[in-house]
Amino acid sequence: MAGHFEPLPGGGAAVALDEVEVSILRSLAVQLLELIGPGETEGPEAADPLARLFAEGPSEPPADPALARLFPDAYGSPGAEQDERERAYASEFRRYTENDLRDRKRGDALGMVRSLDGLSLVGGDDEEAVLRLSPDECRQWLGALNDLRLTIGARLEVTDEDQGEALYRLPDEDPRKPMVMAYLWLGGLQETLVESLMGG
């Protein structure tokens, strides 16, 4: 089980993680939460679900490339210049959907942090703990793993699979190497979690 998810009887999945892996995952999830930003905790919209439903979000795409990858425009092709009509549609769509999408992504990352905080590692450096996730927790982890890979991919400027393949061949002294290793490791976790949920 070390390093990859396996299905649990009755649903969900489990993975064995050591102290370093837990620390890296937790740190990445916390950084993702900081990137996404805080939720709406003040004002009438925070207490009133109906007001939250009609609260308007931003209408312009984020300037940060990682956030732009997490919150892409709904109209037009990625990376292509939008015409005026596509820009107007994308702006309107973003205004009414981005707050909910941010809430979901924030919830997924928080779910990851909470499940990692619930693990107890006892013993030496090579001690592992088995993280057991319910089906709902698996959904949160899938969302968070995907968001982490999108974010790191944006920082690495990964735009397609061919460029992703070049990452495997980076020399050890390349300063991007640790980020690449995290990107590939998260991809493996994501892939085995999907396989576990699909029945192995």
**99 in any annotated domain:** yes
| pLDDT band at 1; cut points 50, 70, 90 | very low
Please tell me the pTM assigned to this model.
0.83
Determine, yes or no, domain membership for 140: yes
Q: Which of 17-21, 103-107, 167-171 has the lowest mean pLDDT?
A: 167-171
Whether 145 maps to a domain, the answer reads: yes
Chain segment 51-62, per-residue pLDDT in tens: 655 566 666 778
Whether the per-residue pLDDT at 185 is higher than 80: the answer is yes
Report the pLDDT value the prediction gives residue 163, as an integer from 0 to 100: 62
Q: What count of other Cβ atoms lies within 10 Å of the Cβ of residue 66? A: 18
Does 1 reside within a domain? no
CA distance 103 to 36: 9
> How many structural domains is the chain composed of?
1
Residue 42's domain spans which residues? 6-197
